[in-house]
Structure 1
Amino acid sequence: MSSTPRTTAGPTAAGAAAQPSRRGLLRGAAVAAVAVVGWNAANQTWATAAEAGKRDIVPVPNLVGTLETSPATVDAFSHDFGHFFDNAKPWAVLRPGCVQDIVTIVNYARVNGIKVAVNGQGGTGTDIESHSVYGQARVPGGISIDAKGLSKILSIGNDYAVVESGVTWGQLTDATLALGKTPPALPDYLYISVGGTLSVGGIGGTVQKHGLMVDTVQAIDIVTADGRLVTATPWLRADLFNAAMAGAGQVGIIVRVNVKLVPAPKRSVIFSLFYADLETYLADSEKVMAEGRFQVHAGEMLQKADGSGWRYKMEVGANYDTTPPDRDRLLADLHDVRADAVIEDVSFRDYMFRLDAYEAYLKSSGHWYTPKPWLSMFLPASKTKTFMKLVEQELNADSLGGGFLLFYPYYTSKIRRPLAVQPAESVGYLFDLLRFPNPGDTGIQAMLDQNRRLYDIARSMGAKRYLVGSIPNMTQADWKAHYGNRWSAFAYAKKKYDPTNIFTPGQGIFT
């Protein structure tokens, strides 16, 4: 940490939000108990109101929102969905009142060598928290930024929406559906922030047609470490745009997003088709993808009902407005166990929010609150059969607990943002082991060790990781191998836009 903190406000690009009027750090009561008033250069800690005026205290700059250090606030931002780093406490939490607060606090953090990370604060009910699963959003001893302070939908046009980064996909979906529109790519779980999702890529059941969520973004406003609020697109400041999309929060703080919209269908026919063996599942999955039969295409590996082994489910959907699709034509020449098939005609919104009931089950059973050793990867199609045969031997019902293993193909050419690195083949498979261990399970560390072993095997086959997972002991050599020929451009962007390395230390990429 710097021994001479300053409140220097760095330059702000043209078009940035106007400097807010001078206001108190907290509105309402209990100011002394909660508010941070400065940085104590002598002992490298935050100073509260009781220490105001002391010689070594450098005041916090003016904010429209608040900077808080109360135990309750800090504790709430010290854990995430994965519960592996629940004691990684920040020193302070910024609840921004406007975008300019982000600019101001980034400048303050930079000149004082304080780490900064955004905390997405997604979820439902009272379960609001970061949805990273291996401490990716943690910032011990630094400043955690509450994304809920930037959660406004700013405008919705014919083919785009502009939102602040703390907006959840659920908020955006409901707002756009009311106008007959929808984002073309959505995550399966909608109560996570737009900005947080874009920092890792964002994947869902339309990846075969629309790519990742980052592939549907047309522009971002982002605060870089030099305190500039700038716009970046695939054509304007393309290096910054490409380093921010799926860039793990390493080059700036995304504050606004322009995301593409498409016409929303009214209903969907969802086919759950079950397969007794891996080979038939792979063949049918790639067949329907190549023929473009469905608008939605997902799948998973799951236990057989009698617990004797594994079977596979292809979940595909055909959207429509008034005339239902021809089911027989859509199912022609497929080799699923047809007697087990489940076919449902549902509203498009009901399908988008389909995990609501499952979330309620996981909470009632206690699985929602357990540690989550997830493993998320992109497999090359040519090695997928070999790898999945190994996985069938490695896993059992206890490996999943209340969770599941998503597994389905997509075209790697649909994924255009360079840091969402892909296998060097035309077809990849998402492998998304989303474990919700049984409450009281004592084998969590063994699951993490298994993740590392499976990752190393998959990597030797040409797989790439998806950044949301829990893979222990990642070294910088591992990260360089992961990014391959993209590493040098990523490292250059990090040096250019965050030269003092203050952003998102929890990812561990540049530490």
Structure 2
Amino acid sequence: MSSTPRTDAGVSAEPSRRRVLGSIAATAVAVVGWNAVDQTWATAAEAARNPDVVPVPGLVGTLETTPATVEAFANDFGHLFDGDPSKPWAVLRPGHIDDIVKIVNYARANGIKVAVNGQGGTGDDIESHSVYGQARVPGGISIDAKGMSKIVSIGGDQAVVEAGVTWGQLTDAALAVGKTPPALPDYLYISVGGTISIGGIGGTVQKYGLLCDTVKSIDIITGDGKLVTATASQRSDLFNAALSGGGQVGIIVRATVKLVPAPKRAVIFSLFYSSVEQYLADSEKVLADSRFQVHAGEMLRTPDNSGWRYKLEVGATYSTTPPNRTRLLCDLKDVRADAVIEDVSFRDYMFRLDAYEAYLKEGGHWYTPKPWLSMFLPASKTKTFMKQVEQELDASSLGGGFLLFYPFHTSKIKRPLAMMPNESVVYLFDLLRFPNPGEPNIQGMIDQNRRLYDVAVALGAKRYLVGSIPMTGADWKKHFGNRWSGFVNAKRKFDPNNIFTPGQGFFA
């Protein structure tokens, strides 16, 4: 990517009917300014008679305050902070990246909070995919990421995409030229910008790190209203604070993501274990020798629903010659009679959650509140923690959901704000609850999350920014540890007016 920021997102800047937003001719449903005295948005009629109203700059897109719009942007996938207290005052649907620059400058000058809303999903189920209000901006401006969802270019070993592009869109576009992003989330219908802002993890983390570790550069709008390019070597302090920094130092509008050659097919092995001890031993064995290209796993209910067992899900990818299955499995001690082995197209495996999403929607689980618990556990204490988890959780703890659980090397994690336990091998613990419809104990699940989090932290764990864990300012300071002061300095430098992403609660 060029060091000179691009300002042409492929959208014509020619004035249109929508540009009347910044004038007194705006319609009654659109706001035209901010009343700096009583801290409210003003319509055209109010602006005409009130000298305290600061006009909104002219935009290619729209700034909307209709009840239906702000209501939609008050909700997220977790449905734990829905409704009036979470409503933004306005939603920016940018027609051009310059619109975001203008609104950031406007927000800074008028003390208005701003946050990007990823707006992922499929069909009509498009919403923020945060689960604990991380993208909410009460009383502020929510930016619809769908207004920046173009794939700018794909070529060689990289793709340039706007931040609202989903990983599914990028995957299909890359596969069309024989490439793939090296790291992908399990669920592909979430935005690139939102994912790299909190890290992003998937089944190739043991080879490529987090999704943010595959980003070569970002174009980002900082809190002083500047659009700049940042890389690991150019404006590295901004780059490192933006990737896994929870949207605190700027609005990522474009990213250059690495691409690698895509295999044609994958042999997926689902191997089952009756004890956590044997699961851990085999998981760390295949991690150490890198025999598989994909490595994930779960803790899940036994077929008779009487307890827990573990699944090692590993994949060997290929294009022409299938892998030797016997050699890959010869020294593993799973319950071989239960093993399931499938040879599938690479794309089918990448989009494997499509059918599961349909199942969750059909049963109503997709629409329930989601008290998720996401952490990284030090390998040396993982068995101790999981033994307690086995006692704490039951089938109702999952509902229609699942508990992802697998190891990776911390040496693969490059971004400093992606906090990891102080060990060479750690485990992702990702309790993705989809409670049964009508579940009466959602608050109890959140309380349980906090209790398990405290146990895990005492063992040396770190949380992942996804998830539903009540946190205080002191908790966040402890979480970031010796990187806290650097994070605070980056916040002060790049967002001096503290306008970005208040829903994370880092600097509340």
Aligned residues: 497
Letter in 2 for 1:37: V
Q: Is it true that 1:431 corresponds to 2:421 in the alignment?
A: no
**Residues 19-52 of structure 1: per-residue CA shift (max 9 Å, x gap):** 9555554689x95242111112342211122323
Shift of 1:66: 0.5
Letter in 2 for 1:229: L
1:485 corresponds, among 479, 482, 506, to 482
Corresponding residue for 1:17? Answer: 7
In 2: Cα distance, 1:27 partner to 1:176 partner: 38
Instruction: Tell me if structure 2 keeps the 8 A contact 1:162–1:259.
Output: yes
2:71 corresponds, among 48, 66, 75, to 75
Corresponding residue for 2:188? Answer: 190
**Residues 206-232 of structure 1: per-residue CA shift (max 9 Å, x gap):** 000000001000000000010100000
Q: Is it true that 1:32 corresponds to 2:42 in the alignment?
A: no
What SS class does the counterpart of residue 408 from structure 2 fall into?
Answer: strand
Corresponding residue for 2:82? Answer: 86
What SS class does the counterpart of residue 58 from structure 2 fall into?
Answer: coil
Instruction: Tell me if structure 2 keeps the 8 A contact 1:304–1:311.
Output: yes
**Residues 439-488 of structure 1: per-residue CA shift (max 9 Å, x gap):** 0010100000000000011001100000011001x111111111111111
What SS class does the counterpart of residue 32 from structure 1 fall into?
Answer: coil
The percentage of aligned residue pairs carrying the same residue is: 77
Q: Give the 3 Å change call, closer, same or farther, for CA 15–377 of structure 1 in structure 2.
A: closer
Corresponding residue for 2:438? Answer: 440
Letter in 2 for 1:122: G
Instruction: Tell me if structure 2 keeps the 8 A contact 1:295–1:317.
Output: yes
What SS class does the counterpart of residue 201 from structure 2 fall into?
Answer: coil
Shift of 1:252: 0.1
In 1: Cα distance, 2:272 partner to 2:6 partner: 53
Q: Is it true that 1:509 corresponds to 2:500 in the alignment?
A: no
Corresponding residue for 2:337? Answer: 339
Shift of 1:500: 1.0
In 1: Cα distance, 2:475 partner to 2:17 partner: 46
Corresponding residue for 1:462? Answer: 460
In 2: Cα distance, 1:389 partner to 1:43 partner: 55
Corresponding residue for 2:244? Answer: 246
In 2: Cα distance, 1:327 partner to 1:34 partner: 63
Corresponding residue for 2:309? Answer: 311
In 1: Cα distance, 2:370 partner to 2:126 partner: 16
Corresponding residue for 2:39? Answer: 44
Shift of 1:17: 2.2
Corresponding residue for 1:8? Answer: none
What SS class does the counterpart of residue 109 from structure 1 fall into?
Answer: helix
In 1: Cα distance, 2:340 partner to 2:133 partner: 38
In 2: Cα distance, 1:302 partner to 1:33 partner: 53
In 1: Cα distance, 2:213 partner to 2:427 partner: 18
Structure 1: 5+ residue runs without aligned partners?
Answer: 1-12
In 1: Cα distance, 2:344 partner to 2:478 partner: 44
**Residues 267-301 of structure 1: per-residue CA shift (max 9 Å, x gap):** 00000000011000000000011111100000000
RMSD across aligned C-alpha pairs, in angstroms?
1.5
Alignment map for 1:116-127 (pairs within 5 Å): 116-127=114-125
Corresponding residue for 1:389? Answer: 387
In 2: Cα distance, 1:147 partner to 1:304 partner: 41
2:371 corresponds, among 349, 370, 373, to 373
What TM-score results when the alignment is normalised by the length of structure 2?
Answer: 0.96
Instruction: Tell me if structure 1 keeps the 8 A contact 2:19–2:58.
Output: no
Structure 2: 5+ residue runs without aligned partners?
Answer: none
In 2: Cα distance, 1:15 partner to 1:482 partner: 33
Q: Give the 3 Å change call, closer, same or farther, for CA 27–178 of structure 1 in structure 2.
A: farther
Larger displacement relative to structure 2 (196-205 or 304-313):
304-313
In 2: Cα distance, 1:121 partner to 1:15 partner: 25
Q: Give the 3 Å change call, closer, same or farther, for CA 403–26 of structure 1 in structure 2.
A: farther
In 2: Cα distance, 1:239 partner to 1:15 partner: 17
What SS class does the counterpart of residue 288 from structure 2 fall into?
Answer: helix
What SS class does the counterpart of residue 27 from structure 2 fall into?
Answer: helix
In 2: Cα distance, 1:27 partner to 1:215 partner: 42
Letter in 1 for 2:7: A
1:165 corresponds, among 139, 163, 183, to 163
Alignment map for 1:12-411 (pairs within 5 Å): 15=5, 17=7, 20=13, 23-25=16-18, 32-54=27-49, 55-87=51-83, 88-411=86-409
Shift of 1:340: 0.4
Instruction: Tell me if structure 1 keeps the 8 A contact 2:20–2:58.
Output: no
In 1: Cα distance, 2:265 partner to 2:308 partner: 31
Instruction: Tell me if structure 2 keeps the 8 A contact 1:20–1:100.
Output: no
**Residues 307-356 of structure 1: per-residue CA shift (max 9 Å, x gap):** 22100000000000011100000101110000100000000000000000
In 1: Cα distance, 2:57 partner to 2:378 partner: 50
What TM-score results when the alignment is normalised by the length of structure 1?
Answer: 0.95
